[in-house]
Structure 1
């Protein structure tokens, strides 16, 4: 970034009731544009259909209890961390790729995991997201073929073992 460009303002916060539709649009647009590089149109349509039931999505979001990244006041990504260490959703807006949104989401996930004394993070990761997850220390457990709405999609089961907070401090000495 040059000195003449403003530094974007990025915050991570809990999602708010009423943002469900915006979160679906973000997920839909990311899948149909960014993930389209690795998946066919039919696969993207199965993964993020045009006819998703809004009530089911609202229920899913409430159960997932995600956090969001705002970049310059706009939703730029969202993710979650379940009680067992599972990351169910991890999406960065198609228009905000390369702006630090994924890094902010992953830092937040790690901070939450540490505060909850978790020892492992795991997720089902798309072909597109695999390099990012590997970059932040996740390893592939196995490649999978999933059937979604009658269409087969490939993804990866990935995990990352975490060092307990006390161990990390001891190893730095």
Structure 2
């Protein structure tokens, strides 16, 4: 890492910069910058600096994740490698909402996920014997089973339950990418 940073600093200080060629799309960077309501105008140089900063950030994070992949004798970079790289440095704590710490633990988190899935399956199987078959949603996992429907000969005199309250506001204005279906789909753009 020290050599990478030395080479990066030397390249920034001494190389002839080509400002017309970018690794990342400047229009996308401008769109992200303008997502802040306080931003009114953006100079031409600002997205270029952000693009270079993002390039350096992605390269460093990839190198740190690659170290973890090699420690596990793999040649394929996985999500757990990135989570582990983030966990090893306090510098990346700002990403804790995007990549939770549990993912960095590898097999133990998979074991917890498998046991949670088994519990959810058990809840579904035991409650489904007295009910009509209803698919479980993510909100049903860990929740008590639904009460059985009333017998058909009794009249229905009760009102449907009120809708669940909205989730509490966490102060984080960025969407949680894990709450949507595809973990690789963020803000309408496919991430590879």
- Structure with larger Rg: 2
Higher relative contact order (CA 8 A, sep 6+): 1
Q: What range describes the TM-score normalised by the shorter chain of this pair?
A: under 0.3
More helix by share: 2
TM-score (norm 1): 0.25
